[in-house]
């Protein structure tokens, strides 16, 4: 706990510098422009894209701040007699939403993109941002939720026969439900299988497939250069990036096209395999689910690049960079696929394999 608290304090101290100091400085038409995270989000919001701006803000500001608050609660909570169960439940969910590492890669991509138009230098905030990212990664690796549950809410050893035991998907405790049908450790309702898991997962997946169409057809970025307007879709943006720098174009291609499409295909396969009670390749399917959960968040990269570039290049008539309507559809699609995985009860995959053949889907 004291290690976690120390890292939270260090992160809190770094945050004002990492978010408000300039990450990159651009020399454009004789003027120095500084870009930082806050500025990028504000630019997005000012241009009317409040929802897209809040997506970026949540993944880069909100989630890291919530991480610090949650650790602070765990530290002082026991002295104040707080109920720490919601804090521990949120902490577990937060892990995949803290996207500082992805934003850091976004800074690199943005600086390479802008290099065509202007000279670019690292700003003073960059060191703070890199330190903050490393600290957040260490904190997330160090954070052993199971150990924390055990520490704050230790459970007696289970005496019941294995068939009656139930695993809680929220805190991963295995035990018997209490008198009110709740998990004895985290007090969330305990079900044999998460309710409406398949329906919710399908809904999120279908919505994200639909959103992916305008996300790829409409322009995602618009550049005004000497009065002329140049629009780029996700793919054409990658193509023009590839003429200058193939490795960077490859990173953006993987994050914006390969990962979202693979994730959707994998999720479709998994949901269909549950419907058709497929028994083959169970291990592979569970592994696939873990992989798409882990890589899915990287799709937010393109939105971060756009947000930072918007604050860098904004010289009205001469040279300006804004985002197109596709950004909103793309961001929503990515978030919906993350939720589709979140809502899927992975135990449904095992059910056809179980000998009892009990049908838990409701
Ligand atoms: Zn629980």
Distance 7 CA to ligand 1 centre (A): 27
Place of tokens 């969910």: 93
Task: Evaluate whether residue 210 is within a structural domain.
Answer: yes
Distance 276 CA to ligand 1 centre (A): 30
Quote the pTM value: 0.85
Assigned token pair, 231 = 């629009």
Task: Evaluate whether residue 289 is within a structural domain.
Answer: yes
Mean pLDDT, residues 265-292: 82
Range of the domain at 27: 2-143+191-355
**Angle, CA of 292, 63 and 66, to the nearest 5°:** 135
Distance 335 CA to ligand 1 centre (A): 25
Q: Give the span between the Cα atoms of 33 and 310, in whole angstroms.
A: 11
Query: Could you report the per-residue pLDDT of 32-72, keeping only the tens digit for each?
Result: 778 888 888 888 888 888 888 998 999 999 999 999 999 98
Distance 203 CA to ligand 1 centre (A): 26
Task: Evaluate whether residue 178 is within a structural domain.
Answer: no
Mean pLDDT, residues 5-22: 89
- Predicted confidence at residue 316, as pLDDT, reads 58
Give me the half-sphere count of Cα atoms (radius 13 Å) on the Cβ side of residue 208: 27
Distance 163 CA to ligand 1 centre (A): 18
Continuous H helices in the chain: 2-20, 37-46, 50-57, 63-80, 85-94, 100-114, 125-142, 145-152, 197-217, 234-244, 246-253, 259-275, 282-296, 301-312, 326-343, 348-351
End-to-end CA distance of the chain: 41
Distance 250 CA to ligand 1 centre (A): 41
Q: Give the span between the Cα atoms of 176 and 167, in whole angstroms.
A: 8
Distance 149 CA to ligand 1 centre (A): 9
Distance 181 CA to ligand 1 centre (A): 11
Task: Evaluate whether residue 186 is within a structural domain.
Answer: no
Distance 166 CA to ligand 1 centre (A): 10
Task: Evaluate whether residue 169 is within a structural domain.
Answer: no
- Predicted confidence at residue 297, as pLDDT, reads 84
Task: Evaluate whether residue 130 is within a structural domain.
Answer: yes
Q: How many domains does the chain have?
A: 1
Query: Could you report the per-residue pLDDT of 76-124, keeping only the tens digit for each?
Result: 888 888 888 888 889 888 888 899 999 999 888 888 877 777 788 888 8
Distance 150 CA to ligand 1 centre (A): 12
* Distances, alpha carbon 204 to alpha carbons 161, 210, 214, 343, 362, in Å: 37, 10, 16, 9, 18
pLDDT averaged over every residue in the chain? 84
- Predicted confidence at residue 160, as pLDDT, reads 72
Q: Give the span between the Cα atoms of 18 and 308, in whole angstroms.
A: 14
- Predicted confidence at residue 352, as pLDDT, reads 67
Distance 46 CA to ligand 1 centre (A): 42
Query: Could you report the per-residue pLDDT of 150-172, keeping only the tens digit for each?
Result: 888 888 777 777 777 888 888 88
Task: Evaluate whether residue 334 is within a structural domain.
Answer: yes
Q: Give the span between the Cα atoms of 226 and 123, in whole angstroms.
A: 27
- Answer whether residue 358 shows pLDDT above 50: no
- Categorize the per-residue pLDDT at 130 as very low, low, confident or very high, splitting at 50, 70 and 90: very high
């Amino acid at each position: 706990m004291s290690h976690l608290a120390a890292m939270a304090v260090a992160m809190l101290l770094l945050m004002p510098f990492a978010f408000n100091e300039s990450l990159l400085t651009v020399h454009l038409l004789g003027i120095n422009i500084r870009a930082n995270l806050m500025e990028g989000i504000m630019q997005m919001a000012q241009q009317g894209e409040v929802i897209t701006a809040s997506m970026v803000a949540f993944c880069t500001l909100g989630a890291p701040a919530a991480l610090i608050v949650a650790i602070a609660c765990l530290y002082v909570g026991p002295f104040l007699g707080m109920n720490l169960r919601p804090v521990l439940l949120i902490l577990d969910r937060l892990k995949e939403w803290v996207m500082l590492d992805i934003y850091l890669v976004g800074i690199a991509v943005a600086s390479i993109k802008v290099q065509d138009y202007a000279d670019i230098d690292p700003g003073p905030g960059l060191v703070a941002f890199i330190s903050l990212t490393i600290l957040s990664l260490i904190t997330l690796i160090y954070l052993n939720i199971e150990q924390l549950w055990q520490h704050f809410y230790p459970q007696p050893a289970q005496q019941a026969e294995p068939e009656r035991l139930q695993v809680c998907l929220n805190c991963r405790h295995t035990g018997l439900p209490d008198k009110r049908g709740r998990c004895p450790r985290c007090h969330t309702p305990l079900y044999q299988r998460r309710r409406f898991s398949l329906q919710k997962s399908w809904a999120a997946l279908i919505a994200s497939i639909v959103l992916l169409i305008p996300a790829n057809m409409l322009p995602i970025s618009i550049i005004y250069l000497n009065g002329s307007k140049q629009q780029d879709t996700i793919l054409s943006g990658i193509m023009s990036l590839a003429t200058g720098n193939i490795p960077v174009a490859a990173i953006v291609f993987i994050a914006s096209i390969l990962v979202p499409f693979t994730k959707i295909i994998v999720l479709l396969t998994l949901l269909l395999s549950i419907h058709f009670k497929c028994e083959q390749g169970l291990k592979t399917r569970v592994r696939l689910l873990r992989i798409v959960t882990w890589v899915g968040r990287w799709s937010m990269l393109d939105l971060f690049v756009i947000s930072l570039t918007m604050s860098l290049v904004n010289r009205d008539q001469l040279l300006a960079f804004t985002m197109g309507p596709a950004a909103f559809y793309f961001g929503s699609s990515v978030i919906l696929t993350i939720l589709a995985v979140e809502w899927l009860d992975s135990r449904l995959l095992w059910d056809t394999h179980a000998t009892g053949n009990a049908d838990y889907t409701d």
